[in-house]
Chains A and B, each alone.
Chain A
Amino acid sequence: MYVPVLGLLLLAGACQTNMEYDISNGLLDKEVTLFENELVVPVGSAGPFCLDLLIGQLSSFLADLGLPKDIVSVGEDGNLLMKAGVNVYDENFYRLAIRNGDNDEPYIWEPGDEDMSPALSTLLPMVGVTLHNQSFILEASSPLRTAVPMSGKITLKCSSGEETSFQKEVVLQDFSLPRSGESVVLAEFQVPEAYTDHDTKILLIEPKVTLPEHFGKQVSGEGNFSCILTQKVNISLGDKFSLPLPLDLKVNLPLSKAHLRAATVTMALENTVPLNLEVQQVNALDADGKEVSNIEIVPDIRLAGGSVGAPSTSVIALGIKTKDGSEIPDIKRISIKLNASSAPGLGNVLLSAKQGVSVNYSSIKINGGITLFRNEN
């Protein structure tokens, strides 16, 4: 009984249907584009990204110059410290014992004068790095079970051209190398700040070690007579410093799902590193590291140098779009070619682990909206 009545009512209702609005059988396109005008999303703050994060990068750069790896570290005062050691002499006792033979008298070992130009003092100024608080320590050790006398003279010599500008000398008199297991400081020098940029040498003059008779029997196993010169220095980036810093970031951004056409990343940065940073090029890469040619990233990034006491602030922008106006595809990696150069007036500011770049504020502005639920068929 209900059916005919309801049928009539339904028919009456059916007369009002508007077939233009038929959304059955997949006729409703669910694609939506949100925030069509623009969407600004505050991304947040970060950092500071301090120089100690770049120690590895810096060490690699110096290794390319011929310096040992891992020579950069952080000193107790928080400043970056470069420390390089070189073996002045390293003589196995057995070789000496063979040379001496089965002599019943003491053997005077004279390894010979050494004229040392420490590597840091030579190489770093070539790339615009200025040395500060330069110090040298000359240490020696013996493998023998007894102390042995040693004589000689160690000289620190700073010169400008042909003229000696500064000199300091240590004479080893009534001096003994201690028994095995202990090393001793032969000399310790501090280069005055005024002579930091002068040529520096360490001279070991007429070193003599008096070894007792039958000294070959006084060492069990292997043992070396060694003398090591260690140079420590703080650094600043002088006026001529310039360093390219390539960065390769794995980002894995599935931007194709959002169907974006243009985006701008804005950041307010605070810099306490006495370096001007300029982004020269930014490229989007695929998973294999090949450049995605259709993506155009326009950097407007020039960050002025600053210091811990006087940080500099800059607002930078990074525009991302495609060259043909199509939607931005996924970005797997980003390569950034950065150039760091010295900031005028900050050439003498020591590099410190506390210096870094902070992102005080950042945002992403998306123009054209975010498109979701697109039917790809």
Chain B
Amino acid sequence: MRTKLTFTILALSAIVSLHAQSFQEGFLLNNYRLSFRYNPALHAEGDFISVGEFTSYSSNNIGAGAFLYPLEGQGKVVTGLNSAVSSEEFLGALKDINAKQTYLEYSLFSYGFARGEAYHTVEAGVRASYGVAVPKDVFRFLKIGGEDAFSFADTRVQGRLYMQLAYGYSRKIGDRLSVGARAKLLAGLYGGEMRFNRFDLRAGGDSYRLDIQSHLDLTNLTGKMMDTEGGFLNPLDWSSKDKWRMPSGGGAALDLGISWEIADGLTLAASVLDLGGCFWYYGNAAQCDGTATITGLKDFSLDDINLSGALNQARQLGNELLKTVQYVGLDRHFEYDPLPMQANVGLRYKMPFCEALTVGLTGNYAAYRILPYWEGRLALAVNPFDWLDVTANIGTGKYGMVWGAAAQIRVLRFRAHAGIENGFGGTVPYEGTPLKANKKALVVGLTYDL
């Protein structure tokens, strides 16, 4: 029992970052109930219900291998900022903008049912996304210092959480053509973004000069950031008095799809997902636009030449610096945030000599804001028993070679499915963090045939 529990925990703990992208393997799995997510024109035979499905996706254009360096013969791993790692090696492994993006989706329930020629789906769930981008110059400054100009522009952090209610409709047109659409209603719960449009640091012998322009947007579902004197925002002072007591945003999106059985067993499907977006209401909005020149402490005395004196002076210097770069509150405003559009295309062929065997090709493009992504895969699916479907694929994408696998098991009316997508290049043991630039996905779900 403990072993099973441990195994489960380990498995679940590997789900560090979750995926809200379409499940490519679903196109190849036989009778996969949730294929409408990949392409709204696709659907399985029969009615079903699903309660709880986890999908996750993470994409990073740089892996842990750029930050971790095993030392030969010493049995330990150091970071890129360790003196044992040269600046050329560490900085050479970084990208100009180093980014990680994560999408999560939890489906509260899905219901699919056929009525006449049409197939309907209703789904409700929660979606979340968060991402961070850090320019290389941040690490260059930390690693080598020196007197130089550094640009930390394009640093950004963003996160969104919203609920989704979707209705899908697909219909056969003739014997071989199916079309479908899925309309999604979105309700934004929490959203925020901080981005530095300009963040220049010029380190000279007698001064450090900062030039910052930054924008901050936060919804105020839980509270309103208070103003200080002078109109600056105080991130430590929140008031629930003026909080927005409704969803912080609303929007809609549309999925469109088409599926065409070109010949017996040969199907071509194409879809475009997430056409639309969400209007967010930012009750906490601020902008920082200023320059600061740090010439050091002013009027230090002989009494300050010790740690506590220096810390005290540095604290005062920090306060002065903060006054220069503090965020000035802006008027509350609406802002439109488009969902990342996705395009899928797939071709599958059920072998005439062995219907249990299917080969296929899939392609995907996702217009993620920080890290747009593309890939193509060659897939093989096997349905050796009517209760077991297995598929595996290999391909290439923006970050190199990729692979994927999924399985579906049917027991009575229950169908459990799980799938994983990953790149090559290894992971950090016991953590699963990819060592190279990577797109990783994990899907786990359970449906019940009605």
Contacts and interface: CB of A to CB of B under 8 A. Distances in A.
B246 interface: no
Contacts of B302: 49, 249
Contact of A9 (B11, B70, B294): B11
A213 to B, nearest CB: 64
Nearest to A39: B145
Nearest to B75: A27
Nearest to B208: A42
Contacts of A194: none
A25 to B, nearest CB: 9
B147 to A, nearest CB: 6
Interface in A24-54: 24, 27-47, 49
A12 B77 contact: no
A23 B428 CA distance: 8
Contacts of A28: 68, 76-79
Interface in B382-426: 405, 407, 409, 411, 414, 416-420, 422, 424-426
A304 B432 CA distance: 65
B321 to A, nearest CB: 13
B351 interface: no
Interface stretch (A160-168, A178-186, A251-259): A251-259
Given A7-B11, A9-B418, A35-B142, A46 B299 contact: yes
Contact of A13 (B76, B142, B422): B422
B427 interface: yes
Which of B11, B294, B298 gathers most chain A CB within 10 Å? B11
Interface in A1-27: 1-3, 5-10, 12-13, 16-24, 27
Contacts, number: 191
B8 to A, nearest CB: 5
B206 interface: yes
A94 B342 CA distance: 115
- What's the dominant secondary structure at chain B's contact region? mixed
A42 B146 CA distance: 13
Interface of A: 1-3, 5-10, 12-13, 16-24, 27-47, 49, 249-254, 266, 361-363, 369, 371
Interface of B: 4, 7-8, 10-12, 14, 64-65, 68, 70, 75-79, 81-83, 87, 141-147, 203-208, 294-302, 305-308, 313, 317, 405, 407, 409, 411, 414, 416-420, 422, 424-432, 435, 442, 444, 446
Given A42-B206, A44-B297, 16 more contacts: A1-B446, A9-B405, A9-B419, A17-B428, A18-B426, A21-B68, A21-B70, A23-B428, A29-B76, A35-B143, A37-B144, A37-B145, A44-B296, A252-B306, A253-B306, A371-B83
